[in-house]
């Protein structure tokens, strides 16, 4: 399989994995040759990348760190409880949330135990499952990323639980922002943005009074938009005053935002998202946390096409645990010409090989490909 941007899909290509929605309905099946209409449908669904079946890389598999089942269960729990809070306007939000805490806690537990039991790095979160609203899958992804960072930083079990719950609820305050602002497709006015920023405080207030929930979980909601240099909100506090969990949440939140599809821009690839974080290292984000995050995620996902400094190119076929940026590559081309006998190169052993380009297109479309300099 190869990772291909939906804008470079060609009729006749086949999906490696079916695209489903959160109700388990299959929207597009695997193995069926794509038509122009289906390609359009994938683009309309807001999917940036898909896995395409390819004979020269048919043995490549991407592994999920967290099972589809836990992912669905987590997102359903988040969705139903968040919706209840939204619908329960002007009633007692806290009492709704209090009832839901048990559900959130058990979801955090399942994610934690799966993360601990897995030796895999966190893979590019697949877009084969489509959800109604960005905020639910975002809350799940941020939980996953925050817990991975927490584990890398060797936090204790109890701390991970508090962090996980805080991450899952970090945007719960958005349920108290009017739908007009929350779902506005265009740019927010200054006034609307001021209101939007309040989701941090609304979330904090909701979580802080919950029985048996640490105040630190509430601070995850309050602090996730604060930045080290004091340019964040709501309190514009600086580095030393931001709690470690707030700093973890900031990294996880921004990374998921830029690597997910939004109506106003396509998703970045993981190495591009990391570059973005690095550009704010020490200024907006804590350098040690970015470092810990980098160690726990797949930077070059399986199926990604990469080109080296010497003109050779190929596809990522598997990860090297412990060397997150040095995966194993199957070399398929030299100077854009297919080679007769593809072979593997282990980048953790060939340290002089430099990736100069990553792309999400295949074959003859190479000229038009979306290329990004690493
Ligand atoms: Fe937020």
* pTM of the predicted protein model: 0.86
- Beta strand ranges found along the chain (DSSP E): 2-5, 19-21, 26-28, 49-52, 129-130, 305-308, 312-318, 328-334, 337-346, 355-359, 371-373
Whole-number Å distance, alpha carbon 78 to ligand 1 midpoint, is 15
Q: Which of 142, 143, 136 is nearest to 161 (CA)?
A: 143
Asked if pLDDT for residue 54 goes beyond 90, the answer is no
Residue 265, φ and ψ in degrees, nearest 5: -165, 150
Assign 127 to helix, strand or coil. coil
Whole-number Å distance, alpha carbon 170 to ligand 1 midpoint, is 7
Whole-number Å distance, alpha carbon 345 to ligand 1 midpoint, is 41
Whole-number Å distance, alpha carbon 130 to ligand 1 midpoint, is 21
When mean pLDDT is compared over 183-197, 201-215, 221-235, 289-303, the highest value belongs to 221-235
Which residues, at least 6 apart from 245, have a Cβ–Cβ distance to it below 8 Å?
Answer: 146, 162, 163, 166, 216, 219, 220, 223
Whole-number Å distance, alpha carbon 141 to ligand 1 midpoint, is 13
For the stretch 136-167, pLDDT in tens is 889 999 999 999 999 999 999 999 999 999 99
For the stretch 112-144, pLDDT in tens is 998 888 766 776 655 555 555 778 889 999 999
Whole-number Å distance, alpha carbon 223 to ligand 1 midpoint, is 9
Whole-number Å distance, alpha carbon 64 to ligand 1 midpoint, is 26
Region of poorest pLDDT, from 63-67, 263-267, 289-293: 263-267
Whole-number Å distance, alpha carbon 129 to ligand 1 midpoint, is 23
Which residues, at least 6 apart from 55, have a Cβ–Cβ distance to it below 8 Å?
Answer: none
Whole-number Å distance, alpha carbon 171 to ligand 1 midpoint, is 5
> Over the chain, what is the mean pLDDT?
85
Q: What is the percent of the chain with per-residue pLDDT over 90, rounded to a whole number? A: 45
Dihedral sign for Cα 292, 293, 294, 296, please.
positive
For the stretch 74-106, pLDDT in tens is 888 888 888 887 776 556 666 667 777 888 898
Assign 209 to helix, strand or coil. coil
Asked if pLDDT for residue 198 goes beyond 50, the answer is yes
């Amino acid at each position: 399989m190869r990772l291909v941007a939906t804008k470079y899909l060609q009729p006749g290509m086949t999906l490696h994995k079916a695209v489903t929605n959160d109700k388990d309905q299959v929207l597009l099946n695997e193995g069926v040759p794509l038509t122009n209409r289906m390609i359009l449908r994938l683009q309309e669904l807001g999917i940036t990348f898909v896995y395409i079946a390819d004979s020269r890389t048919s043995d490549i598999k991407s592994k999920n760190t967290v099972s589809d089942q836990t992912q669905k269960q987590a997102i359903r729990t988040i969705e139903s409880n968040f919706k209840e809070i939204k619908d329960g306007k002007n009633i007692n939000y806290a009492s709704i949330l209090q009832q839901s805490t048990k559900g959130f806690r058990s979801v955090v537990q399942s994610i934690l135990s799966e993360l601990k039991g897995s030796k895999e790095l966190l893979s590019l979160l697949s877009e084969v499952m489509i959800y109604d609203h960005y905020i639910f899958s975002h809350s799940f992804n941020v939980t996953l990323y925050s817990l991975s960072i927490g584990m890398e930083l060797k936090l204790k079990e109890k701390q991970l639980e508090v962090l996980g719950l805080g991450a899952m609820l970090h945007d719960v305050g958005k349920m108290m922002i009017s739908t007009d602002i929350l779902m506005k497709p265009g740019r927010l006015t200054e006034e609307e943005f001021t209101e939007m920023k309040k989701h941090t405080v609304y979330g904090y207030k909701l979580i802080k009074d919950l029985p048996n929930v640490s105040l630190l979980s509430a601070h995850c909601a309050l602090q996730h938009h604060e930045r080290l240099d004091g340019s964040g909100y709501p309190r514009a506090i600086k580095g030393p005053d931001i709690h470690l969990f707030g700093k973890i949440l900031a990294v996880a939140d921004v990374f998921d935002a830029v690597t997910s599809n939004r109506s106003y821009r396509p998703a970045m690839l993981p190495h591009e998202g990391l570059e973005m974080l690095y550009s704010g290292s020490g200024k907006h984000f804590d350098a040690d946390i970015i470092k810990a995050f980098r160690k726990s995620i797949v930077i070059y996902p399986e199926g990604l096409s990469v080109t080296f400094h010497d003109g050779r190119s190929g596809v990522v076929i598997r990860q090297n645990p412990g060397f997150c940026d040095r995966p194993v590559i199957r070399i398929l081309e030299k100077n854009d010409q297919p080679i007769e006998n593809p072979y593997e190169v282990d980048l953790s052993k060939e340290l002089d090989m430099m990736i100069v380009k990553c792309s999400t297109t295949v074959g003859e479309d190479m000229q038009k490909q979306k290329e990004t300099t690493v």
